[in-house]
Amino acid sequence: MSKRDYYDVLGVKREASEAEIKKSYRRLAMKHHPDRNPDDDAISEVAFKEAKEAYEVLSNAQKRAAYDQFGHAGLEQGAGRGGFNSSDAFGDMFGDVFGDIFGGGGRRGQSQVYRGADLRYELVMDLQQAVFGDTVNIELPTMQVCETCGGNGAKPGSSPVTCNTCDGHGQVRRQQGFFSVQQTCPSCRGNGKKIEQPCGDCHGRGRTQHNKTLAVKVPPGVDNGDRIRLGGEGEAGQNGGPPGDLYVDIQVTRHSIFTRDGADLSCTVPIAFVTAALGGTVSVPTLESEVKLKIPAETQSGKVFRVRGKGVKPVRSHAAGDLFCRVEVETPVKLTTEQKELLSKFNAALAAGGDRHRPRMSSWRDGIKRFFENIAS
C-alpha cells in the first residue's frame, strides 16, 4: 500500500518552516489522539500514527532532505543503513512538541534555583519616633547561607554528585500511553544533584538559622500600617537563588496627650472657669515645645481651636498638618466654705440679670417646654 505524501498528511507546503510543521503536527496529534476519540479509536489511531510518522521525517533536516530528493524510497534506504531508531526519535520529538504542556524538559546539570522567603517584622514605635523619624535596631531569626559548606549542603572536602535517577536533569520523564509527562525527580527533589556526605552544621540543607541584627532607618512622618521594604534582607535563597525581602510594618503606640489623624494632631486642654468666662491665655503642648493659646471671653466647653502647622509632616507630603485643641471647662472641686459662699452670691447675681447671662440654659429650657406642650396636644 502506497504511503501518502508527508506534506499532505500534515497539510503544509513543501517550503514550510520547521515552526509551521511543528504547529501543524501538534494540532493533528491533539485532534486524532485515541484517548480523545474513544468512539472512533481505530481510525483515529491510524491518523495519529500517520501524522507522527510524517513529523518524524519532516522535523529532521537530514531525513527531510532525503525525502525531498528520493521520496519514501530514500527513507527506506537510510533506515536500512541504520539511519535512526523511530522509537527514540519519537520520544525526543514528543517531549519537544508537548513539553510546554506537561512541564518542559530539564537541562542537564542545572539545579532548580529558589528565591528566599520574604520576612515580616512588626516594629512598635512611640508617636515622637514616628513623627520625627529614627534608626531602630531590630533582631530577627532568619535562614542564612551555611558558612561551613558555602550553601552546597555537602561536608567540607566533598561535593554534591549528579543524581543517578534523573541524570542531573532535576526531572524524570514518565510514559503514560502516548503521552510523555515530566515530573520533579523524587530522589533529588529537582536539584539535579544528591548529597552523599551532608554538612554537619546544616545537615545538607545549605542554610542555617541565625539571629540577624539590622538597623532600620524609619523616615519622619510614618503612621500606623506603613510598611518599609528592605530588599535582600529576607531569608537566603537555595542553590544560589536570590534572598527574599524584609517588610517592616509600623505600629505606633497610643500617646498620653495627642491623637493622630493623618497629618493632624488633636488634644484636650482643660481651662479654668474664670478663664473661660473672662478670657485669657493658656499654654498648650506640641510635640516639639509649648505654644500660647488665646482663649476669648465667654468660651464654652467643647470649643475647638486650631494651631496651624503644629501637626505632622507625613512621609509623602511637604506640608505639616495642624494641631486641634478642644477646651474643657473644669468645674472647681474641694471648695472651702468661703468659696462656696462667694459662688452662691455670684449665682444670685447672675439670676438677677435674667437669662441673658445663660443663653444656652434658657434655650434648653424653652426646648423642654415645647416638648411637653407637643405631648399634651
* Boundary (domain end) residue, out of 37, 68, 98: 98
Q: Examine the pLDDT at 199 and tell me if it is beyond 50.
A: yes
Residues 181 and 237 in one domain: yes
Q: pLDDT at position 38, please?
A: 66
Distance CA 205, CA 20 (A): 46
pLDDT for res 4: 85
Residue 370 has, within 13 A of its CA and on its CB side, a CA count of 6
Q: 114 in a domain, yes or no?
A: no
- The CATH number covering residue 93 comes to 1.10.287.110
The mean pLDDT value for 229-237 works out to 88
Sequential DSSP letters for 57-96: HHTSHHHHHHHHHHTHHHHHHHHHTT---HHHHHHHHHHH
- How many percent of the chain have pLDDT more than 70? 85
Task: Find the helix packing angle between 86-98 and 18-32, rounded to 10°.
Answer: 90
104 belongs to a structural domain: no
According to the model, what pLDDT value does residue 295 have?
96
Is the pLDDT assigned to residue 23 strictly greater than 60?
yes
Looking at the whole model, is its pTM more than 0.85? Answer: no
Residue 91 and residue 62 share a domain: yes
Cα Rg of the chain (Å, integer): 42
| Residue after which a domain boundary falls, among 63, 98, 133 | 98
Q: 71-80, 224-233, 311-320, 366-375: which has the minimum mean pLDDT?
A: 71-80
In a domain, 66, yes or no: yes
125 and 195 within one domain: yes
Which pLDDT score is estimated for 123? Answer: 95
Same domain, 31 and 125: no
Q: Is residue 163 part of a domain?
A: yes
Out of 64-73, 265-274, 310-319, the most confident range is 265-274
Residue 155 in domain: yes
Same domain, 134 and 240: yes
Residue that terminates a domain, selected from 330, 347, 366: 330
Question: What integer pLDDT is reported at residue 100 of this predicted model?
Answer: 40
* pLDDT classification of 211: cutoffs 50, 70, 90: confident
More confident residue, 350 or 105: 350
Burial 318-355 (b: 16+ CB within 10 A, else e): eebbbbbbebebeeeeeeeeeeeeeeeeeeeeeeeeee
Residues 123 and 248 in one domain: yes
The pLDDT-based confidence of 1 (bands split at 50, 70, 90) is: low
**Dihedral sign, Cα of residue 14, residue 18, residue 21, residue 24:** negative
**Do residues 126 and 208 both lie within one domain?**
yes
276 with 164, same domain? no
CATH of the domain at 275: 2.60.260.20
For residues 25 and 77, state if they share a domain.
Answer: yes
Residue 111 lies in a domain: no
Question: Are residues 236 and 277 located together in one domain of the fold?
Answer: no
Which pLDDT belongs to residue 345? Answer: 93
Number of domains the chain contains: 4
Is there a domain that residue 169 lies in? yes
Question: Does one domain contain both 175 and 152?
Answer: yes
Task: Compare 63 and 251 and report the one with higher pLDDT.
Answer: 251
Which domain CATH number covers 177? 2.10.230.10
Domain range holding 270?
259-330
Q: Give the residue, 280 or 169, on which the prediction is more confident.
A: 280
Q: Are residues 171 and 218 in the same domain?
A: yes
Examine residue 359 and state whether it is found in any structural domain, yes or no: yes
Separation between Cα atoms, residue 278 and residue 293, nearest integer Å = 15
